[in-house]
Amino acid sequence: MGPLAGLKVLELGTLIAGPFAARMLAEFGAEVVKIESTDGGDPIRSWRYLHAGTSLWWSVQARNKKSVTLNLKHPRAQELARRMALEADVVIENYRPGVLEKWGLGYEQLKALNPAAIMVRLSGYGQDGPMRDRPGFGAIGESMGGIRFVSGHPDRPPVRIGISIGDSIAALHGVIGALMALRHRDATGGRGRGQGQMVDVALYEAVFNLMESTVPEYDRHGVVRSRTGGALPGIVPSNTYTCADGAAIVIAGNGDAIFKRLMVAIGRADLAQDPQLARNDGRVPRAAEIDAAIQAWCDGRGIDEALAVLGAADVPVSRIYSVADMFTDPQFLARQMIERHLLPDGTPLAVPAVTPKLSATPGGTRWLGPRCGEHTDEVLRSLGCSDAELAQLRAEGAV
Active-site residue set: 167
Among 88, 107, 87, 89, smallest CA distance to 97 is for 107
Residue 391 DSSP class: H
User: Hey, which bits of the chain come out as E strands?
Assistant: 8-12, 31-36, 50-51, 54-55, 65-69, 90-93, 118-123, 197-202, 238-242, 248-252, 317-319, 338-342, 348-352
Q: Which residues contact 221 (CB under 8 A, 6 or more apart)?
A: none
Q: Cα(37)–Cα(45) distance, rounded to whole angstroms?
A: 12
Judge whether 67 and 373 are in contact, CB under 8 Å. yes
* DSSP 3-state of 318: strand
Judge whether 21 and 92 are in contact, CB under 8 Å. yes
Judge whether 240 and 284 are in contact, CB under 8 Å. no
The CA R_g of the chain, rounded to the nearest whole Å, is 25
- Backbone dihedral region for residue 53 (phi beyond 0: left; psi -120 to 50: alpha; all else: beta): left
Helices 75-87 and 387-396 sit at what angle, rounded to 10 degrees?
130
Q: DSSP states of 245-270 as a string?
A: TS-EEEEE--SHHHHHHHHHHTT-HH
Task: Give me the residues paired with residue 338 across strands.
Answer: 352
Q: Which residues contact 298 (CB under 8 A, 6 or more apart)?
A: 241, 242, 243, 244, 249, 306
Q: For residues 139, 219, 200 and 138, what is the CA-based torsion angle, rounded to 10 degrees?
A: 0
Counting other chains too, the contacts that 375-384 makes at CB distance below 8 Å and 24 or more residues apart are: 375/33, 375/66, 375/67, 375/68, 376/67, 376/68, 376/69, 378/66, 379/33, 379/66, 379/68, 379/84, 380/68, 380/80, 383/80, 383/83, 383/84
